[in-house]
Amino acid sequence: MAEALRYQADVAVVGGGLAGLVAACEAAARGKRVLLLDQEGEQNLGGQAFWSLGGLFMVDTPEQRRMRIRDSEALALSDWLGSAGFDGPQDHWPRRVAEAYVAFAAGGMRDWLAGIGMRWFPVVGWAERGGAQAQGHGNSVPRFHVTWGTGPGVLAPFERMARDHAAAGRLRFAFRHRVTAITRAGGRIAGLAGEVLEPTSVARGQKSSRVVVGAFEVEAGAVIVTSGGIGGNFDRVRAAWPVERLGPPPARMVAGVPAHVDGDMIDVAATAGAGLINTGRMWHYCEGIRNWDPIWPEHGIRILPGPSSLWFDALGQRMEPPFLPGFDTLGTLRRILSTGHAHSWFILTQGIIKKEFALSGSEQNPDLSSGRWAEVLKARLGSGGKAPAPVEAFKDKGADFTVAATLEELVAGMNRIGATMGDPPLDAGQLRVQIEARDAQLANPFAKDAQINAIREARHYLGDKLIRTAKPHAILDPAQGPLIGVRLSVLTRKTLGGIHTDLEGAVLDGAGERIEGLFAAGECAGFGGGGYHGYNALEGTFLGGCLFSGRAAGRAAG
């Protein structure tokens, strides 16, 4: 093998996702010579954020006010702390970062991002409603600001700035460079070492080869690790799974992230002395469907459901509140796993799917990703009785969907899907009793069915009424048909714990002391601090955390 390639930089950034781009731009803007390394090819620049919906948690914004949402830093912080449930001494820095992020989200965040060209869809989304108690988990008000252009719209300004810095000689990219070691000399960080991988022409997001064609070494004054989480590696997810809190890890899952989200670099940081905390905290979704047109291995898509689909566990039992669509991600995951199975089912109508099913991902929302109003109106309002085209495509081609005119035919279809997965068969009679009882409550203005009340409550919010919540109707009303059954899998997505850092992104060792010259940001650092979400997320806080912690680390290292 040829001699190792050698680089020198003031700041070396490991990972060209959103956190890495933000950190690299901040350091370069402070006059540092920056080297940005990524194991993938140039076509993958931006990492997961490219695929994201571009939803950002922001507080008390003009978009909220226009939708008559009254929000405040105090309310947001109360929601955050109620969701996080910070509970140990290791949560000192995660909590400090959370407080600082909420202040930022209610303060300068929007102006900063608007100043570099970002804009937001005017209807603010109401994600993760919680649904238990006022001081518990959940967003008291809508706060999910979808960026025009979705994930690519979040990345665009940072990619543009990074390329400008590169053109000016302040920043250098090193793609297909896989870091395998962080080197130390005289008690501080000295740089990096790793493998050069063979060139790749796979499309963005696809799994690339790991054939090694060379080696490299980097001498750097500071290293910032921004290598992402672990969700693309099921073995790691299962090994870290919090059995005592959620139940046994699913035997089968779908991947909500590309294969490069492998977590290996977190071990590399640990070998260099980084403390890892809260590693059992993770954020996986219950509404995963197998992608009929996959990009990465085991590719799953998350349904972002409105409140009306009926949700049944693997044994055919309708799930009790607060385990309703869109309310409590991890509570629902625990409830699903308590059956001894990892899947669940939605039963809904065409009337519901057309208004309430959104799919997470930039490629699943070409209208919002285009950033053009005409596309949005055509897709969301102009489709007659149909859902937006990507949702209809899943209904037609997705392995987890079945459509029928009657409940008995529908359940036969669901059981055909289940048989291919080894699921217990569902009983149409048992489902009919539950659905008829639910439907009977519709005419009752004093309904005791919590889901019917949740639908009515959602429609008090103009945004939900306009584009997210179908008019309440009987599931078994043929005029609302056909009926649709969807088999849902656990979808891996976010890593909530990771490398322990302080507010500046400086990495702390096992004793909580700073490692001079080593920083971490983004998902590998639990989005800041080593887990600023605590146990539960309020959504939009992942991209938000990459922006906030990437900026802090880039400034501190620069």
Binding positions for ligand FAD, rule: CB under 6 A: 14-20, 37-40, 44, 47-49, 51-55, 178-179, 226-228, 256-257, 260-261, 264-265, 360-361, 494, 522-523, 540-544, 546
H-run or E-run covering 396: helix 389-397
Q: Give which of 537, 528, 7 is closest to 225, Cα–Cα.
A: 528
Shortest separation between residue 380's beta carbon and ligand FAD, angstroms? 18
Return the beta strands (E) in 134-187 as ranges. 144-146, 171-175, 177-185
Cβ neighbours for 186, distance < 8 A, ≥ 6 positions apart: none
Closer CB to ligand FAD, 45 or 333, in the complex:
45
CA-CA distance, 215 to 312, in Å (whole number)? 52
Contact of 305 with 321, CB cutoff 8 Å: no
Closer CB to ligand FAD, 313 or 539, in the complex:
539
CA-CA distance, 443 to 172, in Å (whole number)? 65
Shortest separation between residue 124's beta carbon and ligand FAD, angstroms? 13
Shortest separation between residue 86's beta carbon and ligand FAD, angstroms? 20
| Alpha helix stretches (DSSP H) within 287-349 | 329-337
Closer CB to ligand FAD, 257 or 407, in the complex:
257
Query: Cα dist. 156→140, 229, 269, 548 in Å?
Result: 31, 22, 29, 17
Shortest separation between residue 32's beta carbon and ligand FAD, angstroms? 19
CA-CA distance, 439 to 42, in Å (whole number)? 53
Closer CB to ligand FAD, 48 or 139, in the complex:
48
Shortest separation between residue 412's beta carbon and ligand FAD, angstroms? 32
Q: Give which of 547, 545, 553 is closest to 527, Cα–Cα.
A: 545
Closer CB to ligand FAD, 164 or 264, in the complex:
264
Shortest separation between residue 50's beta carbon and ligand FAD, angstroms? 8
Shortest separation between residue 58's beta carbon and ligand FAD, angstroms? 11
Closer CB to ligand FAD, 176 or 395, in the complex:
176
Q: Give which of 265, 186, 281 is closest to 495, Cα–Cα.
A: 281
Strand-pair category, 483-495 with 254-255: parallel
Closer CB to ligand FAD, 128 or 313, in the complex:
128
Closer CB to ligand FAD, 189 or 455, in the complex:
189
Shortest separation between residue 174's beta carbon and ligand FAD, angstroms? 9
Shortest separation between residue 493's beta carbon and ligand FAD, angstroms? 6
Closer CB to ligand FAD, 19 or 470, in the complex:
19
H-run or E-run covering 486: strand 483-495
CA-CA distance, 72 to 94, in Å (whole number)? 21
Closer CB to ligand FAD, 349 or 541, in the complex:
541
Shortest separation between residue 106's beta carbon and ligand FAD, angstroms? 17
Query: Cα dist. 550→10, 18, 532 in Å?
Result: 17, 8, 14
CA-CA distance, 74 to 72, in Å (whole number)? 5
Q: What are phi and psi of 516, to 5 degrees?
A: -60, 125
